Structure 1
Amino acid sequence: MIDPSVVEQVRSASRTMVRELGFMRTTLAGTRYSPSAVHTLLELGEHGALTSAQLVQELGLEKSSVSRMVAKLIQSGELEESRGEEDGRTKQLSLTEQGKRTLEEIHAYGQMQVSSALVPLTQQEQQTIAQGLNAYAQALKTYRQETVETAAAKIQIASGYRPGLIGRMAEMHASFYSRHSGFGQFFESQVAAGVAEFAGRLNNTRNAIWVAESAGRIVGSLAIDGEDLGNDEAHLRWFILDDGCRGGGIGRHLLTEALDFCDRQNFSAIQLWTFKGLEAARRLYESLGFELTHEEQGNQWGTAVTEQQFTRKR
Protein backbone atom coordinates (compact mmCIF):
# COMPACT_ATOMS: atom_id res chain seq x y z
CA MET A 1 0.00 0.00 0.00
CA ILE A 2 1.37 3.41 -1.00
CA ASP A 3 0.63 6.48 1.11
CA PRO A 4 -1.18 9.00 -1.16
CA SER A 5 0.69 11.85 0.50
CA VAL A 6 4.01 10.28 -0.58
CA VAL A 7 2.74 10.07 -4.17
CA GLU A 8 1.83 13.76 -4.12
CA GLN A 9 5.20 14.73 -2.65
CA VAL A 10 7.01 12.84 -5.40
CA ARG A 11 4.80 14.37 -8.09
CA SER A 12 5.33 17.88 -6.73
CA ALA A 13 9.11 17.36 -6.53
CA SER A 14 9.13 15.94 -10.08
CA ARG A 15 7.32 19.01 -11.43
CA THR A 16 9.78 21.32 -9.68
CA MET A 17 12.76 19.38 -11.06
CA VAL A 18 11.36 19.50 -14.60
CA ARG A 19 11.06 23.28 -14.37
CA GLU A 20 14.35 23.96 -12.58
CA LEU A 21 16.42 21.66 -14.82
CA GLY A 22 15.09 23.44 -17.89
CA PHE A 23 12.88 20.77 -19.46
CA MET A 24 10.07 23.30 -19.96
CA ARG A 25 12.27 25.25 -22.37
CA THR A 26 12.74 24.43 -26.05
CA THR A 27 16.48 23.86 -25.53
CA LEU A 28 18.40 22.10 -22.77
CA ALA A 29 21.76 22.08 -20.96
CA GLY A 30 23.03 25.31 -22.47
CA THR A 31 22.80 23.92 -26.02
CA ARG A 32 20.64 24.88 -29.00
CA TYR A 33 19.09 21.40 -28.98
CA SER A 34 15.82 20.02 -27.63
CA PRO A 35 15.75 17.78 -24.53
CA SER A 36 15.28 14.67 -26.70
CA ALA A 37 18.27 15.61 -28.89
CA VAL A 38 20.45 16.23 -25.82
CA HIS A 39 19.50 12.82 -24.44
CA THR A 40 20.32 11.24 -27.80
CA LEU A 41 23.85 12.64 -27.53
CA LEU A 42 24.09 11.38 -23.94
CA GLU A 43 22.97 7.86 -24.87
CA LEU A 44 25.43 7.66 -27.77
CA GLY A 45 28.19 8.95 -25.53
CA GLU A 46 27.45 6.16 -23.05
CA HIS A 47 27.01 3.32 -25.56
CA GLY A 48 29.42 4.39 -28.29
CA ALA A 49 27.07 3.46 -31.14
CA LEU A 50 23.39 2.63 -31.46
CA THR A 51 20.89 2.01 -34.24
CA SER A 52 17.78 4.18 -34.59
CA ALA A 53 15.70 1.25 -33.33
CA GLN A 54 17.84 1.00 -30.21
CA LEU A 55 17.48 4.74 -29.63
CA VAL A 56 13.71 4.33 -29.81
CA GLN A 57 13.90 1.78 -27.00
CA GLU A 58 16.32 3.83 -24.88
CA LEU A 59 14.44 7.12 -25.22
CA GLY A 60 10.89 5.76 -25.21
CA LEU A 61 9.95 7.87 -28.25
CA GLU A 62 8.14 7.08 -31.48
CA LYS A 63 10.27 5.95 -34.41
CA SER A 64 9.15 8.84 -36.60
CA SER A 65 10.20 11.37 -33.94
CA VAL A 66 13.60 9.72 -33.51
CA SER A 67 14.15 9.58 -37.28
CA ARG A 68 13.50 13.30 -37.68
CA MET A 69 15.68 14.19 -34.71
CA VAL A 70 18.57 11.98 -35.87
CA ALA A 71 18.40 13.51 -39.35
CA LYS A 72 18.73 17.00 -37.86
CA LEU A 73 21.68 15.98 -35.67
CA ILE A 74 23.43 14.43 -38.68
CA GLN A 75 22.81 17.60 -40.70
CA SER A 76 24.18 19.68 -37.81
CA GLY A 77 27.38 17.62 -37.77
CA GLU A 78 26.83 16.03 -34.35
CA LEU A 79 26.20 12.44 -35.53
CA GLU A 80 27.40 10.19 -38.32
CA GLU A 81 26.13 6.92 -39.79
CA SER A 82 28.15 3.83 -40.56
CA ARG A 83 27.43 0.26 -41.61
CA GLY A 84 27.16 -2.32 -38.83
CA GLU A 85 30.11 -4.69 -38.49
CA GLU A 86 27.97 -7.84 -38.22
CA ASP A 87 25.16 -6.77 -40.56
CA GLY A 88 26.04 -4.35 -43.33
CA ARG A 89 22.37 -3.48 -43.81
CA THR A 90 22.18 -1.98 -40.32
CA LYS A 91 23.20 1.65 -39.87
CA GLN A 92 25.02 2.50 -36.66
CA LEU A 93 24.84 6.03 -35.26
CA SER A 94 27.79 7.53 -33.39
CA LEU A 95 29.12 10.92 -32.32
CA THR A 96 31.36 12.91 -34.63
CA GLU A 97 34.30 14.86 -33.19
CA GLN A 98 31.99 17.85 -33.03
CA GLY A 99 29.39 15.72 -31.26
CA LYS A 100 31.96 14.62 -28.68
CA ARG A 101 32.82 18.26 -27.95
CA THR A 102 29.13 19.09 -27.60
CA LEU A 103 28.73 16.17 -25.22
CA GLU A 104 31.61 17.44 -23.07
CA GLU A 105 29.87 20.81 -22.83
CA ILE A 106 26.59 19.09 -21.84
CA HIS A 107 28.35 17.14 -19.08
CA ALA A 108 30.12 20.27 -17.82
CA TYR A 109 26.83 22.17 -17.71
CA GLY A 110 25.04 19.35 -15.90
CA GLN A 111 27.82 18.85 -13.37
CA MET A 112 27.85 22.57 -12.59
CA GLN A 113 24.06 22.67 -12.24
CA VAL A 114 23.86 19.69 -9.88
CA SER A 115 26.97 20.57 -7.86
CA SER A 116 25.71 24.10 -7.26
CA ALA A 117 22.39 22.78 -6.00
CA LEU A 118 24.02 20.23 -3.66
CA VAL A 119 26.57 22.59 -2.07
CA PRO A 120 24.31 23.77 0.83
CA LEU A 121 23.43 20.18 1.81
CA THR A 122 25.28 17.81 4.14
CA GLN A 123 27.01 14.73 2.74
CA GLN A 124 24.30 12.55 4.25
CA GLU A 125 21.59 14.58 2.52
CA GLN A 126 23.52 14.41 -0.75
CA GLN A 127 23.76 10.61 -0.51
CA THR A 128 20.09 10.33 0.35
CA ILE A 129 19.14 12.37 -2.72
CA ALA A 130 21.44 10.35 -5.02
CA GLN A 131 20.17 6.99 -3.79
CA GLY A 132 16.52 8.03 -3.78
CA LEU A 133 16.60 9.53 -7.25
CA ASN A 134 18.37 6.49 -8.66
CA ALA A 135 15.82 4.11 -7.13
CA TYR A 136 12.92 6.24 -8.41
CA ALA A 137 14.41 6.50 -11.93
CA GLN A 138 14.87 2.73 -12.14
CA ALA A 139 11.31 2.16 -10.92
CA LEU A 140 9.96 4.48 -13.64
CA LYS A 141 12.01 2.72 -16.33
CA THR A 142 10.86 -0.71 -15.19
CA TYR A 143 7.23 0.43 -15.19
CA ARG A 144 7.52 1.80 -18.75
CA GLN A 145 9.12 -1.40 -20.07
CA GLU A 146 6.52 -3.60 -18.42
CA THR A 147 3.72 -1.42 -19.79
CA VAL A 148 5.07 -1.75 -23.35
CA GLU A 149 5.48 -5.51 -23.00
CA THR A 150 1.98 -5.89 -21.55
CA ALA A 151 0.45 -3.84 -24.36
CA ALA A 152 2.23 -5.97 -26.98
CA ALA A 153 1.06 -9.16 -25.29
CA LYS A 154 -2.56 -7.96 -25.46
CA ILE A 155 -2.45 -7.43 -29.23
CA GLN A 156 -4.17 -10.23 -31.10
CA ILE A 157 -3.70 -11.26 -34.74
CA ALA A 158 -6.89 -12.16 -36.60
CA SER A 159 -7.80 -12.79 -40.24
CA GLY A 160 -10.72 -11.79 -42.41
CA TYR A 161 -12.99 -8.80 -42.80
CA ARG A 162 -14.54 -7.01 -39.82
CA PRO A 163 -16.64 -3.80 -39.64
CA GLY A 164 -14.53 -0.65 -39.87
CA LEU A 165 -11.61 -2.42 -41.59
CA ILE A 166 -11.58 -0.33 -44.78
CA GLY A 167 -11.76 3.03 -43.05
CA ARG A 168 -9.22 2.12 -40.38
CA MET A 169 -6.66 0.84 -42.90
CA ALA A 170 -7.04 4.03 -44.94
CA GLU A 171 -6.68 6.13 -41.79
CA MET A 172 -3.47 4.40 -40.66
CA HIS A 173 -1.89 4.77 -44.10
CA ALA A 174 -2.93 8.41 -44.48
CA SER A 175 -1.63 9.33 -41.02
CA PHE A 176 1.77 7.67 -41.45
CA TYR A 177 2.50 8.67 -45.05
CA SER A 178 1.39 12.27 -44.59
CA ARG A 179 4.20 12.58 -42.03
CA HIS A 180 6.76 10.45 -43.84
CA SER A 181 6.20 11.40 -47.49
CA GLY A 182 3.84 14.37 -47.51
CA PHE A 183 1.00 12.41 -49.14
CA GLY A 184 -2.48 13.90 -48.94
CA GLN A 185 -6.10 13.29 -49.90
CA PHE A 186 -5.34 11.58 -53.21
CA PHE A 187 -3.23 8.88 -51.52
CA GLU A 188 -5.81 8.25 -48.80
CA SER A 189 -8.57 7.96 -51.41
CA GLN A 190 -6.51 5.49 -53.44
CA VAL A 191 -5.87 3.32 -50.38
CA ALA A 192 -9.53 3.37 -49.35
CA ALA A 193 -10.69 2.49 -52.88
CA GLY A 194 -8.11 -0.28 -53.21
CA VAL A 195 -8.95 -1.87 -49.86
CA ALA A 196 -12.70 -1.61 -50.59
CA GLU A 197 -12.28 -3.33 -53.96
CA PHE A 198 -10.08 -6.03 -52.43
CA ALA A 199 -12.52 -6.68 -49.55
CA GLY A 200 -15.09 -7.73 -52.15
CA ARG A 201 -12.72 -10.47 -53.35
CA LEU A 202 -11.96 -12.09 -50.00
CA ASN A 203 -14.19 -15.04 -50.90
CA ASN A 204 -11.36 -16.17 -53.21
CA THR A 205 -9.20 -18.60 -51.24
CA ARG A 206 -6.06 -17.11 -52.83
CA ASN A 207 -6.77 -13.77 -51.11
CA ALA A 208 -6.42 -13.06 -47.39
CA ILE A 209 -6.14 -10.22 -44.92
CA TRP A 210 -4.85 -10.04 -41.34
CA VAL A 211 -5.23 -7.39 -38.67
CA ALA A 212 -3.60 -6.72 -35.33
CA GLU A 213 -6.16 -5.73 -32.70
CA SER A 214 -5.79 -4.14 -29.29
CA ALA A 215 -8.93 -3.91 -27.11
CA GLY A 216 -11.07 -4.30 -30.23
CA ARG A 217 -9.28 -1.54 -32.14
CA ILE A 218 -7.37 -2.30 -35.34
CA VAL A 219 -3.73 -1.23 -34.91
CA GLY A 220 -2.13 -3.03 -37.85
CA SER A 221 -2.96 -4.69 -41.15
CA LEU A 222 -1.52 -6.71 -44.03
CA ALA A 223 -3.11 -8.35 -47.08
CA ILE A 224 -2.15 -10.93 -49.68
CA ASP A 225 -3.76 -10.38 -53.07
CA GLY A 226 -3.41 -13.57 -55.08
CA GLU A 227 -5.22 -12.32 -58.17
CA ASP A 228 -4.07 -8.91 -59.35
CA LEU A 229 -0.51 -9.73 -60.49
CA GLY A 230 -1.11 -12.99 -62.34
CA ASN A 231 1.81 -15.32 -63.13
CA ASP A 232 1.02 -17.29 -59.97
CA GLU A 233 2.53 -14.46 -57.90
CA ALA A 234 1.18 -13.00 -54.66
CA HIS A 235 0.98 -9.27 -54.00
CA LEU A 236 1.71 -8.23 -50.40
CA ARG A 237 -0.32 -5.06 -49.77
CA TRP A 238 -1.27 -2.53 -47.09
CA PHE A 239 1.25 -3.50 -44.44
CA ILE A 240 0.97 -0.85 -41.73
CA LEU A 241 1.19 -0.50 -37.94
CA ASP A 242 0.19 2.27 -35.58
CA ASP A 243 3.20 4.18 -34.22
CA GLY A 244 2.79 2.80 -30.71
CA CYS A 245 2.87 -0.80 -31.97
CA ARG A 246 6.14 -0.68 -33.88
CA GLY A 247 9.21 -2.39 -32.48
CA GLY A 248 7.33 -4.99 -30.45
CA GLY A 249 7.32 -7.88 -32.93
CA ILE A 250 3.76 -7.33 -34.17
CA GLY A 251 4.89 -6.54 -37.72
CA ARG A 252 6.98 -9.71 -37.90
CA HIS A 253 4.01 -11.71 -36.61
CA LEU A 254 1.75 -10.30 -39.35
CA LEU A 255 4.35 -10.94 -42.04
CA THR A 256 4.97 -14.48 -40.83
CA GLU A 257 1.24 -15.25 -41.04
CA ALA A 258 1.17 -13.91 -44.59
CA LEU A 259 4.28 -15.83 -45.70
CA ASP A 260 2.94 -19.07 -44.24
CA PHE A 261 -0.28 -18.52 -46.17
CA CYS A 262 1.66 -17.92 -49.41
CA ASP A 263 3.72 -21.05 -48.88
CA ARG A 264 0.58 -23.12 -48.37
CA GLN A 265 -0.89 -21.64 -51.55
CA ASN A 266 2.34 -22.44 -53.46
CA PHE A 267 2.73 -19.01 -55.01
CA SER A 268 5.84 -18.84 -57.20
CA ALA A 269 6.85 -15.49 -55.68
CA ILE A 270 5.64 -12.67 -53.47
CA GLN A 271 5.96 -9.07 -54.62
CA LEU A 272 5.63 -5.90 -52.58
CA TRP A 273 6.04 -2.23 -53.41
CA THR A 274 7.14 0.38 -50.87
CA PHE A 275 9.09 3.63 -50.63
CA LYS A 276 12.77 4.29 -50.03
CA GLY A 277 13.63 5.50 -46.55
CA LEU A 278 11.55 3.05 -44.51
CA GLU A 279 14.67 1.33 -43.20
CA ALA A 280 13.10 -0.59 -40.31
CA ALA A 281 10.54 -2.14 -42.65
CA ARG A 282 13.24 -2.94 -45.20
CA ARG A 283 15.33 -4.77 -42.59
CA LEU A 284 12.26 -6.78 -41.64
CA TYR A 285 11.51 -7.69 -45.27
CA GLU A 286 15.09 -8.74 -45.95
CA SER A 287 15.29 -10.80 -42.77
CA LEU A 288 12.35 -12.84 -44.11
CA GLY A 289 13.84 -13.48 -47.54
CA PHE A 290 12.79 -10.48 -49.64
CA GLU A 291 15.30 -8.86 -51.98
CA LEU A 292 15.24 -5.41 -53.60
CA THR A 293 14.60 -6.05 -57.30
CA HIS A 294 13.65 -2.65 -58.72
CA GLU A 295 13.83 1.03 -57.79
CA GLU A 296 12.67 4.15 -59.61
CA GLN A 297 11.43 7.69 -59.03
CA GLY A 298 7.68 8.19 -59.17
CA ASN A 299 5.07 10.85 -58.39
CA GLN A 300 1.85 8.91 -58.88
CA TRP A 301 0.87 9.65 -55.25
CA GLY A 302 1.12 13.42 -55.61
CA THR A 303 4.65 13.73 -54.18
CA ALA A 304 7.94 12.65 -55.77
CA VAL A 305 9.30 9.58 -53.98
CA THR A 306 11.61 6.67 -54.77
CA GLU A 307 9.48 3.56 -55.18
CA GLN A 308 11.02 0.18 -54.42
CA GLN A 309 9.97 -3.35 -55.37
CA PHE A 310 10.94 -6.29 -53.17
CA THR A 311 10.59 -9.93 -54.22
CA ARG A 312 10.58 -13.19 -52.29
CA LYS A 313 10.79 -16.27 -54.47
CA ARG A 314 9.48 -19.64 -53.38
Structure 2
Amino acid sequence: MTERTYTEEIRRFNRHYANMLGKIDQRIYGKPYLLSEVRVIAELYEKKDATATEIREKLGIDRGYMSRMIQKFEEENIISKKQASTDKRQFLIQLTDYGEKVHQGLVDDANREVGNIIGALNAQQVDRLTSAMRTVESLLNFEQAEVPRVIIRPYQPGELGYVSYLHGALYSKTYQFGAIFEYYVMKGLAEFMMDSSGGELWIAEVDEEIAGAIAITRSSEDTAQLRWFVLDERFQGLGIGHKLMDFALAFCRTQHYRHVFLWTVSILETARHLYGKYGFTLTEQKANNDWTEDELLEERWDLELGS
Protein backbone atom coordinates (compact mmCIF):
# COMPACT_ATOMS: atom_id res chain seq x y z
CA MET A 1 0.00 0.00 0.00
CA THR A 2 1.05 3.60 -0.62
CA GLU A 3 1.06 6.19 2.17
CA ARG A 4 -2.13 7.67 0.72
CA THR A 5 -3.82 4.26 0.74
CA TYR A 6 -2.80 3.68 4.39
CA THR A 7 -4.20 7.07 5.34
CA GLU A 8 -7.50 6.47 3.55
CA GLU A 9 -7.84 3.05 5.17
CA ILE A 10 -7.32 4.52 8.63
CA ARG A 11 -9.86 7.27 7.94
CA ARG A 12 -12.37 4.68 6.68
CA PHE A 13 -11.96 2.64 9.87
CA ASN A 14 -12.30 5.80 11.96
CA ARG A 15 -15.59 6.72 10.25
CA HIS A 16 -16.93 3.22 10.83
CA TYR A 17 -16.23 2.90 14.53
CA ALA A 18 -17.05 6.56 15.26
CA ASN A 19 -20.46 6.05 13.66
CA MET A 20 -21.06 2.83 15.58
CA LEU A 21 -19.98 4.20 18.97
CA GLY A 22 -21.84 7.44 18.27
CA LYS A 23 -25.07 5.48 18.01
CA ILE A 24 -24.38 3.92 21.41
CA ASP A 25 -23.71 7.34 22.92
CA GLN A 26 -26.94 8.74 21.46
CA ARG A 27 -28.98 5.95 23.03
CA ILE A 28 -27.36 6.26 26.45
CA TYR A 29 -26.20 9.81 27.05
CA GLY A 30 -27.98 13.14 27.09
CA LYS A 31 -30.82 12.13 29.43
CA PRO A 32 -30.12 13.30 32.05
CA TYR A 33 -26.31 13.45 31.62
CA LEU A 34 -24.33 14.70 28.67
CA LEU A 35 -21.37 12.70 27.36
CA SER A 36 -18.85 15.08 28.93
CA GLU A 37 -20.61 14.71 32.30
CA VAL A 38 -20.57 10.93 31.99
CA ARG A 39 -16.82 11.04 31.28
CA VAL A 40 -16.23 13.06 34.47
CA ILE A 41 -18.36 10.67 36.54
CA ALA A 42 -16.45 7.70 35.12
CA GLU A 43 -13.11 9.37 35.83
CA LEU A 44 -14.11 10.08 39.44
CA TYR A 45 -15.13 6.45 39.83
CA GLU A 46 -11.72 5.25 38.63
CA LYS A 47 -9.64 7.90 40.43
CA LYS A 48 -10.66 8.44 44.02
CA ASP A 49 -10.06 11.86 45.64
CA ALA A 50 -9.10 13.72 42.47
CA THR A 51 -9.11 17.49 42.09
CA ALA A 52 -11.28 19.26 39.53
CA THR A 53 -8.11 20.53 37.87
CA GLU A 54 -6.74 17.01 37.43
CA ILE A 55 -9.97 15.78 35.87
CA ARG A 56 -10.35 18.87 33.68
CA GLU A 57 -6.81 18.68 32.31
CA LYS A 58 -6.98 14.95 31.65
CA LEU A 59 -10.29 15.18 29.77
CA GLY A 60 -9.60 18.51 28.07
CA ILE A 61 -12.67 20.27 29.50
CA ASP A 62 -13.08 24.05 29.57
CA ARG A 63 -12.46 25.57 33.04
CA GLY A 64 -15.79 27.40 33.18
CA TYR A 65 -17.76 24.38 31.98
CA MET A 66 -16.00 22.17 34.51
CA SER A 67 -16.88 24.61 37.31
CA ARG A 68 -20.57 24.58 36.33
CA MET A 69 -20.52 20.80 36.10
CA ILE A 70 -19.04 20.42 39.58
CA GLN A 71 -21.67 22.78 40.98
CA LYS A 72 -24.42 20.75 39.32
CA PHE A 73 -23.03 17.48 40.68
CA GLU A 74 -22.87 18.94 44.19
CA GLU A 75 -26.47 20.12 44.03
CA GLU A 76 -27.59 16.68 42.86
CA ASN A 77 -25.56 14.90 45.58
CA ILE A 78 -23.46 13.05 43.00
CA ILE A 79 -20.15 14.24 44.48
CA SER A 80 -18.75 15.44 47.78
CA LYS A 81 -15.72 17.66 48.35
CA LYS A 82 -13.12 17.81 51.09
CA GLN A 83 -10.12 20.03 51.65
CA ALA A 84 -6.79 18.51 50.64
CA SER A 85 -4.45 17.94 53.58
CA THR A 86 -1.38 18.96 51.57
CA ASP A 87 -2.82 22.16 50.07
CA LYS A 88 -5.69 23.97 51.79
CA ARG A 89 -6.51 25.76 48.53
CA GLN A 90 -7.32 22.47 46.82
CA PHE A 91 -10.45 20.37 47.24
CA LEU A 92 -10.60 16.65 46.59
CA ILE A 93 -13.70 15.34 44.85
CA GLN A 94 -15.24 11.90 45.16
CA LEU A 95 -18.49 10.23 44.23
CA THR A 96 -21.12 9.87 46.94
CA ASP A 97 -22.97 6.59 47.39
CA TYR A 98 -25.69 8.04 45.18
CA GLY A 99 -23.04 9.08 42.64
CA GLU A 100 -21.76 5.52 42.51
CA LYS A 101 -25.31 4.32 41.83
CA VAL A 102 -25.59 6.84 39.00
CA HIS A 103 -22.30 5.56 37.58
CA GLN A 104 -23.44 1.96 37.82
CA GLY A 105 -26.66 2.79 35.99
CA LEU A 106 -24.67 4.37 33.18
CA VAL A 107 -22.36 1.34 33.05
CA ASP A 108 -25.34 -1.02 32.86
CA ASP A 109 -26.86 1.00 30.02
CA ALA A 110 -23.57 1.08 28.11
CA ASN A 111 -22.94 -2.64 28.64
CA ARG A 112 -26.44 -3.47 27.43
CA GLU A 113 -25.98 -1.48 24.22
CA VAL A 114 -22.55 -2.95 23.53
CA GLY A 115 -23.93 -6.40 24.34
CA ASN A 116 -26.63 -5.88 21.72
CA ILE A 117 -23.97 -5.01 19.14
CA ILE A 118 -21.78 -8.06 19.79
CA GLY A 119 -24.64 -10.42 20.62
CA ALA A 120 -24.36 -12.24 17.30
CA LEU A 121 -20.65 -13.00 17.82
CA ASN A 122 -19.38 -16.14 19.53
CA ALA A 123 -16.76 -16.08 22.31
CA GLN A 124 -13.84 -16.62 19.92
CA GLN A 125 -15.00 -13.78 17.66
CA VAL A 126 -15.40 -11.43 20.63
CA ASP A 127 -11.91 -12.37 21.79
CA ARG A 128 -10.52 -11.56 18.31
CA LEU A 129 -12.40 -8.25 18.29
CA THR A 130 -11.14 -7.10 21.69
CA SER A 131 -7.62 -8.29 20.88
CA ALA A 132 -7.64 -6.16 17.73
CA MET A 133 -8.88 -3.19 19.74
CA ARG A 134 -6.05 -3.62 22.22
CA THR A 135 -3.59 -3.70 19.32
CA VAL A 136 -4.93 -0.42 17.92
CA GLU A 137 -4.82 1.19 21.35
CA SER A 138 -1.29 -0.04 22.02
CA LEU A 139 0.13 1.12 18.67
CA LEU A 140 -1.43 4.57 18.90
CA ASN A 141 -0.65 5.13 22.58
CA PHE A 142 2.63 7.00 22.31
CA GLU A 143 2.85 7.78 26.00
CA GLN A 144 4.17 5.26 28.47
CA ALA A 145 1.34 3.78 30.47
CA GLU A 146 1.53 4.76 34.12
CA VAL A 147 -0.82 2.09 35.43
CA PRO A 148 -0.98 -1.67 34.83
CA ARG A 149 -3.02 -2.76 31.80
CA VAL A 150 -6.10 -4.72 32.88
CA ILE A 151 -7.81 -6.97 30.33
CA ILE A 152 -10.97 -9.07 30.80
CA ARG A 153 -11.38 -11.90 28.27
CA PRO A 154 -13.00 -15.36 27.93
CA TYR A 155 -10.94 -18.20 29.35
CA GLN A 156 -8.65 -20.27 27.14
CA PRO A 157 -7.76 -23.99 27.28
CA GLY A 158 -5.63 -24.84 30.29
CA GLU A 159 -6.81 -21.91 32.43
CA LEU A 160 -9.60 -23.57 34.40
CA GLY A 161 -6.95 -25.42 36.36
CA TYR A 162 -5.33 -22.11 37.24
CA VAL A 163 -8.69 -20.73 38.39
CA SER A 164 -8.92 -23.70 40.75
CA TYR A 165 -5.36 -23.00 41.94
CA LEU A 166 -6.22 -19.36 42.68
CA HIS A 167 -9.14 -20.45 44.84
CA GLY A 168 -7.15 -23.10 46.68
CA ALA A 169 -4.13 -20.88 47.33
CA LEU A 170 -6.11 -17.78 48.38
CA TYR A 171 -8.61 -19.47 50.66
CA SER A 172 -6.00 -21.73 52.26
CA LYS A 173 -3.60 -18.88 53.02
CA THR A 174 -6.10 -16.20 54.04
CA TYR A 175 -9.01 -18.14 55.53
CA GLN A 176 -7.49 -21.56 56.36
CA PHE A 177 -9.82 -23.51 54.10
CA GLY A 178 -8.98 -27.19 53.73
CA ALA A 179 -8.27 -29.25 50.60
CA ILE A 180 -11.93 -30.28 50.31
CA PHE A 181 -12.76 -26.73 49.25
CA GLU A 182 -10.40 -26.90 46.28
CA TYR A 183 -11.98 -30.24 45.33
CA TYR A 184 -15.40 -28.55 45.43
CA VAL A 185 -14.13 -25.83 43.07
CA MET A 186 -12.41 -28.32 40.73
CA LYS A 187 -15.53 -30.49 40.55
CA GLY A 188 -17.70 -27.55 39.52
CA LEU A 189 -15.18 -26.34 36.95
CA ALA A 190 -14.94 -29.83 35.43
CA GLU A 191 -18.72 -29.92 35.05
CA PHE A 192 -18.63 -26.47 33.46
CA MET A 193 -15.95 -27.65 31.02
CA MET A 194 -18.19 -30.50 29.89
CA ASP A 195 -21.27 -28.30 29.46
CA SER A 196 -20.95 -24.50 29.46
CA SER A 197 -24.14 -23.78 27.49
CA GLY A 198 -25.74 -20.55 28.64
CA GLY A 199 -22.62 -19.58 30.55
CA GLU A 200 -19.14 -18.13 30.23
CA LEU A 201 -15.99 -17.76 32.33
CA TRP A 202 -13.80 -14.68 32.09
CA ILE A 203 -10.16 -14.21 33.00
CA ALA A 204 -8.73 -10.92 34.30
CA GLU A 205 -5.19 -10.20 33.13
CA VAL A 206 -2.83 -7.56 34.49
CA ASP A 207 0.07 -6.96 32.12
CA GLU A 208 -0.55 -10.45 30.65
CA GLU A 209 -0.55 -12.16 34.07
CA ILE A 210 -3.74 -13.90 35.25
CA ALA A 211 -5.10 -11.95 38.20
CA GLY A 212 -8.63 -13.28 38.71
CA ALA A 213 -11.75 -14.81 37.23
CA ILE A 214 -15.54 -14.83 37.30
CA ALA A 215 -18.16 -17.03 35.65
CA ILE A 216 -21.85 -17.26 34.86
CA THR A 217 -23.57 -20.64 34.63
CA ARG A 218 -27.14 -21.45 33.68
CA SER A 219 -29.35 -22.55 36.56
CA SER A 220 -32.64 -22.49 34.65
CA GLU A 221 -34.06 -20.89 31.52
CA ASP A 222 -34.31 -17.42 33.11
CA THR A 223 -31.93 -17.77 36.09
CA ALA A 224 -28.14 -17.62 36.14
CA GLN A 225 -25.61 -18.32 38.88
CA LEU A 226 -22.52 -16.18 39.40
CA ARG A 227 -19.60 -18.47 40.31
CA TRP A 228 -15.83 -18.70 40.80
CA PHE A 229 -15.33 -15.00 41.48
CA VAL A 230 -11.74 -14.77 42.64
CA LEU A 231 -8.99 -12.14 42.66
CA ASP A 232 -5.31 -12.60 43.41
CA GLU A 233 -4.59 -10.39 46.44
CA ARG A 234 -1.54 -8.91 44.67
CA PHE A 235 -3.83 -7.10 42.25
CA GLN A 236 -6.34 -5.56 44.62
CA GLY A 237 -7.02 -1.85 44.26
CA LEU A 238 -7.06 -1.81 40.45
CA GLY A 239 -10.84 -1.97 40.07
CA ILE A 240 -10.67 -5.53 38.70
CA GLY A 241 -13.53 -6.79 40.84
CA HIS A 242 -15.86 -4.14 39.40
CA LYS A 243 -14.73 -4.92 35.85
CA LEU A 244 -15.38 -8.63 36.31
CA MET A 245 -18.83 -7.98 37.78
CA ASP A 246 -19.65 -5.64 34.89
CA PHE A 247 -18.74 -8.31 32.33
CA ALA A 248 -20.70 -11.02 34.12
CA LEU A 249 -23.91 -9.02 34.55
CA ALA A 250 -23.73 -7.61 31.01
CA PHE A 251 -23.52 -11.20 29.75
CA CYS A 252 -26.59 -12.13 31.81
CA ARG A 253 -28.57 -9.38 30.15
CA THR A 254 -27.49 -10.37 26.64
CA GLN A 255 -28.60 -13.92 27.46
CA HIS A 256 -31.96 -12.56 28.67
CA TYR A 257 -31.62 -13.91 32.20
CA ARG A 258 -34.08 -12.28 34.56
CA HIS A 259 -32.50 -13.42 37.82
CA VAL A 260 -28.95 -13.98 39.10
CA PHE A 261 -27.85 -15.55 42.37
CA LEU A 262 -24.58 -16.48 44.03
CA TRP A 263 -23.31 -18.30 47.11
CA THR A 264 -20.60 -16.86 49.35
CA VAL A 265 -19.59 -17.01 53.02
CA SER A 266 -20.14 -14.36 55.66
CA ILE A 267 -16.41 -13.84 56.36
CA LEU A 268 -15.79 -12.40 52.86
CA GLU A 269 -16.67 -8.83 53.84
CA THR A 270 -15.14 -7.10 50.81
CA ALA A 271 -16.98 -9.35 48.35
CA ARG A 272 -20.26 -9.00 50.26
CA HIS A 273 -19.92 -5.20 50.14
CA LEU A 274 -19.36 -5.36 46.39
CA TYR A 275 -22.42 -7.58 45.88
CA GLY A 276 -24.51 -5.09 47.82
CA LYS A 277 -23.29 -2.22 45.64
CA TYR A 278 -24.47 -4.11 42.56
CA GLY A 279 -27.94 -4.59 44.01
CA PHE A 280 -27.68 -8.17 45.30
CA THR A 281 -29.56 -8.87 48.53
CA LEU A 282 -28.99 -11.57 51.13
CA THR A 283 -31.81 -14.13 50.91
CA GLU A 284 -30.64 -17.33 52.62
CA GLN A 285 -28.08 -18.61 55.13
CA LYS A 286 -26.92 -22.09 56.07
CA ALA A 287 -24.14 -23.64 58.15
CA ASN A 288 -21.07 -25.18 56.50
CA ASN A 289 -18.83 -27.53 58.50
CA ASP A 290 -16.85 -28.95 55.58
CA TRP A 291 -14.34 -26.34 54.44
CA THR A 292 -12.70 -25.16 57.69
CA GLU A 293 -12.25 -26.40 61.23
CA ASP A 294 -14.68 -23.75 62.44
CA GLU A 295 -18.26 -23.57 61.25
CA LEU A 296 -18.86 -21.16 58.36
CA LEU A 297 -22.05 -19.39 57.43
CA GLU A 298 -22.86 -19.76 53.75
CA GLU A 299 -25.02 -17.05 52.24
CA ARG A 300 -27.14 -16.83 49.11
CA TRP A 301 -27.43 -13.41 47.45
CA ASP A 302 -29.98 -12.67 44.72
CA LEU A 303 -30.41 -9.98 42.08
CA GLU A 304 -33.47 -9.34 39.90
CA LEU A 305 -32.54 -8.17 36.40
CA GLY A 306 -36.11 -7.70 35.22
CA SER A 307 -37.51 -8.58 31.83
**TM-score, with length taken from structure 1:** 0.49
**TM-score, with length taken from structure 2:** 0.50
Please tell me whether Structure 1 or Structure 2 has the larger radius of gyration of its CA atoms. Answer: 1
